[in-house]
């Protein structure tokens, strides 16, 4: 091998160091699922989460939208004739995507979302303190069960991961 070619090929330790510094992803772009009533679903996320619909398309006999729920997160539901969401199902019986969890911006935002979801009659659980986060579940208009999470600043994610360490929390 000539000297020029050898200089262009990094050695394994240089590659490992460079790859260790490179963050490859920064969030989930979108989540796709089926809805029975697009307008009802859009209205729910706009009312409760102050989401905005950025795309609304009808093509090839189906309708799909982008509902922006955060700076990097989009819900991408489809309304497909003849395809209905499964309704309430037990955990791990809901299909390939069991549920998603939305991150609250702050503890105050978490409390406000809890209040709004309760006012909608869509609250589906108590608030649970899992050590590094607070979490509660809600039902969307198609009865899909999802979660809202607030990650506690400075608390390592592994704190409280065991269910035996969890506790129920009353919000103010």
Instruction: Kindly report, residue by residue over 127-145, the tens digit of the pLDDT.
Output: 999 999 999 999 999 999 9
pTM here is: 0.81
Region of residue 65 (left: phi > 0; alpha: psi -120 to 50; beta: else) = beta
Buried b (16+ CB within 10 A) or exposed e, 57-81: eeeeeebbbbbbbeeebbbebebee
Domain total of the chain = 2
Task: Report yes or no: 34 and 86 within 8 Å, Cβ to Cβ.
Answer: no
Query: Does 65 share its domain with 118?
Result: no
Tally Cβ neighbours within 10 Å of residue 130: 20
Read off the pLDDT band of 158 (50, 70, 90).
confident
Query: Does 137 share its domain with 100?
Result: yes
Query: Does 95 share its domain with 64?
Result: no
Query: Does 146 share its domain with 95?
Result: yes
Query: Does 127 share its domain with 61?
Result: no
CATH number at residue 98: 3.10.180.10
The whole domain housing 54 covers 26-83
73 occurs within a structural domain = yes
- The closest alpha carbon to 69, from 104, 40, 96, 118, belongs to 104
């Amino acid at each position: 091998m000539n000297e020029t070619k050898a200089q262009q090929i990094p050695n394994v330790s240089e590659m490992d160091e460079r790859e260790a510094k490179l963050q490859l992803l920064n969030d989930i772009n979108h989540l796709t699922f089926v809805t029975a009533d697009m307008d009802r679903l859009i209205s729910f996320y706009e009312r409760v989460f102050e989401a905005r619909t950025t795309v609304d398309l009808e093509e090839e006999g189906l309708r799909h939208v982008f509902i922006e729920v955060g700076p990097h997160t989009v819900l991408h539901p489809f309304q497909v004739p003849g395809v209905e969401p499964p309704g309430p199902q037990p955990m791990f019986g809901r299909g390939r995507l069991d549920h998603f969890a939305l991150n609250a911006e702050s503890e105050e935002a978490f409390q406000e979302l809890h209040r709004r979801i309760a006012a909608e009659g869509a609250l589906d659980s108590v608030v649970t303190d899992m050590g590094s986060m607070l979490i509660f579940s809600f039902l969307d208009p198609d009865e899909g069960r999802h979660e809202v999470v607030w990650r506690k600043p400075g608390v390592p994610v592994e704190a409280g991961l065991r269910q035996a360490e969890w506790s129920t929390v009353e919000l103010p």
